[in-house]
Amino acid sequence: MSEANVTRLPAEWAPQSGIMLTWPHTHSDWQPFLEDVEPVFTDIAHHASLHEKVLISCWDENHKNHINTRLNERGVDPGRMRYYIVPSNDSWARDHGPITVLKQGRPLLLDFIFNGWGAKYDANLDNAITRHLCSQNAFGDTPIETVDLVLEGGSIESDGQGTLLTTARCLLSPQRNPTLDKIAIEQRLNKLLGAERVLWLDHGHLAGDDTDSHIDTLARFCSADTLCYVSCDAPEDEHYHPLQAMAEELAGFRQADGKPYRLVALPLPQAIYNEDGVRLPATYANFLIINDAVLVPTYQDQHDALALQRLGECFPQRRIIGIDCKPLIEQYGSLHCVTMQIPAGVPLW
């Protein structure tokens, strides 16, 4: 079969038209944290807009005007922004946004079911966001296909060449697709995303994570031959044994040609707790690759500099930009979780 006839999920480092954000609002769980979290969204929008377009979903017209004012005050180029009125439950665009594949070389938006990470939260509005955006021509004439499968963007990593990386705990969760076993899931991933190989991690989790171990909190492709991953070197930490086991699994993985992956360890931030004493899932693996840059979450932590350095070594041709995401993890996610990249070829405007 020629490459032109193959379905592919592009790697995140492939050229992009822009990113998608769903802005936090008072009708969501962000309400008590808005004063702290909106500057994070503003920073993400600002830095992304220097490299590509930014599509923003807003609760209503007043919310849109509020966001526009904030971004104007930040000096964001208004020509790089586009706003759409789309009600939302929450702001995790990674999981309710479209997953874009290239089918016969042309972009296709896949609208998977989002059920609040296994029915943990109400997600009826979020599950409809992609269709609402398409009805407003947010993605131009790009075709959309509604898929009868629960799948979140944060649960899969692609090398752009037919290999997917994921976690068994998430994709085999009975609260997502209870009638599908591992073989059936792989068959669907092959048909829908062009996954010729699926690398499954059976170990690794972060305390406070409510996604059932999304791969984008644990291990990421930096290139087709390089994986970075969260590492814990403190035996007294609750993450030590699960993350050591995950590191061993990653060391056993092979590329399609049989060669081992280059593995780059990212430090685990020091424990951060919310006011209820719950440990929050801070992770440097939750970075976002955009055109010519990488946006990296930081946490006012002693390990921030080392994480930025190691990711700089993984992406030597891109600018590494740290963004303080400590407010984001109050709701158990970070930078990658609140963004969704839109590949080149999708006309945003």
Kindly report the backbone phi and psi dihedral angles of residue 216, in degrees, each rounded to the nearest multiple of 5, phi listed first: -75, 0
Residue 322: which H helix or E strand, with range? strand 319-324
Question: Residue 181's pLDDT is what?
Answer: 97
Instruction: Give per-residue pLDDT as tens, 202-215.
Output: 999 999 999 999 99
Residues carrying an active site annotation: 337
Instruction: Give per-residue pLDDT as tens, 257-300.
Output: 999 999 999 999 999 999 999 999 999 999 999 999 999 999 99
Residues contacting residue 287 through CB under 8 Å, at least 6 positions apart: 220, 294, 295, 296, 297, 311, 335, 336
Residue 4 has pLDDT above 90, yes or no: no
DSSP, res 111: E
Kindly report the CATH number that applies to the domain delimited by 3-343: 3.75.10.10
End-to-end CA distance of the chain: give it in Å, rounded. 34
Banded model confidence at residue 192, pLDDT cuts 50, 70, 90: very high
Q: What would the DSSP string read from start to end of 40-108?
A: HHHHHHHHHHTTSEEEEEESSHHHHHHHHHHHHHHT--GGGEEEEE---S---HHHHSPEEEEETTEEE
pLDDT mean over 184-201: 98
Question: Residue 150's pLDDT is what?
Answer: 98
Instruction: Give per-residue pLDDT as tens, 143-154.
Output: 999 999 999 999
Give me the chain's average pLDDT, please.
97
Residue 129 has pLDDT above 90, yes or no: yes
Instruction: Give per-residue pLDDT as tens, 77-126.
Output: 999 999 999 999 999 999 999 999 999 999 999 999 999 999 999 999 99
Per-domain residue ranges of the chain: 3-343
